Amino acid sequence: MKPEKVPFYAGMEAGGTKFVCMVASGPEDVRAQTSFSTTKPEETLGRALAFFMAHEPFGAMGIGTFGPCNLNPDSPAYGRLSTSIKPGWKEANMLEPFRQVFDVPMGIDTDVNVAALGEYTWRAGQGTEVLLYLTVGTGIGGGGIINGRMMHGLFHPEMGHIRVPRFEGDRFPGICPYHGDCLQGLASGPAMEARWGKKAADLPIDHPSWRMEAYYLASAVNNYICTLSPNRIILGGGVMNQKHLFPLIREEAKRLLNGYIQLPLIMKKIEEYIVPPGLGDRAGVLGAIALARQKAEGR
């Protein structure tokens, strides 16, 4: 198969609610894109496979997946989910079905790590030494870039499962099946719906839920500021589509820091520090394209 003059790559954002698939060279040059609901593994991965087969050729493939997922290339379980809050997806292999069909370089990482990579490559994270990306939606996940490389270590970051101080008077038990009232259990989209009886998008701007949500997210952001020292924090995901939440989080983050970190970016320009994704809802799938490009270049 002859390479194209303009390199195209395959990218897949595998989310707990929906999958987004794309063939592109970058944000301004998209050959094809589709999305569909996340159902059973065989059905969902089969739909993704059919899409990519219909839109060959491409030079490499990148996958950003919900997790937890084994990201060790030397492990026999590489690309396989372990525990999962998504029913039916435990032990699903997110990589192997594509390796069996496409003879191209492939890479897989968490959906939030690749979203951070997309923003670092093309938009709000450009030029940063340490970039943090937090997504608040079906779950809460965090990832990031340190000196141009996605965050890894013993395993990938699980920033949604940290503990945060309780909002005064809050007795909600939380919905995380593993930890109950961790950040994800208290502040994810499903947690908001379970707590208030309505989806986040249906709650009015003046509803008390938003002050509580801002408190929990700002508490988490402060933990990440003090431990990772990011140059910029990007907040994405479905809950963050409620744009009135950003000023509340910034205000609460400054209140909780209480003047401890005396940097102009935080003290005077926090609206440039805690920001929405420049790629919008495409950050994840375009991050997968960026990962594919890295793999094609041997990185």
- Do 233 and 89 reside in the same domain of the chain? no
Domain assignment of residue 138, yes or no: yes
Query: pLDDT by residue (tens digit) across 160-189?
Result: 999 999 999 999 999 999 999 999 999 999
- Do 129 and 260 reside in the same domain of the chain? yes
Residue 6 has pLDDT above 60, yes or no: no
- Do 261 and 149 reside in the same domain of the chain? yes
Query: pLDDT by residue (tens digit) across 10-27?
Result: 999 999 889 999 999 999
* Average pLDDT score over the chain: 95
- Do 83 and 129 reside in the same domain of the chain? no
Helices and strands of the chain, counted as H and E runs = 9, 10
SS3 83: coil
Number of domains in the chain: 2
Average the pLDDT over each of 81-85, 147-151, 283-287 and give the range with the smallest value: 81-85
Cβ density class 4-16: b for 16+ within 10 Å, e for less: eeebbbbbbbbbb
- Do 289 and 212 reside in the same domain of the chain? no
82 within 8 A of 68, measured Cβ to Cβ: yes
Domain assignment of residue 117, yes or no: no
Residue 1 has pLDDT above 60, yes or no: no
- Do 254 and 288 reside in the same domain of the chain? no
Host H or E run for residue 34: strand 29-37
- Other beta carbons within 10 angstroms of residue 271's beta carbon come to 11
Domain assignment of residue 99, yes or no: yes
Residue 3 has pLDDT above 50, yes or no: no
Domain assignment of residue 116, yes or no: no
Q: How many residues are there in the chain?
A: 299
CATH number at residue 163: 3.30.420.40
- Do 206 and 220 reside in the same domain of the chain? yes
Identify the domain containing residue 42 by its residue range: 9-111+281-296
- Do 221 and 133 reside in the same domain of the chain? yes
pTM: 0.94
- Do 80 and 198 reside in the same domain of the chain? no
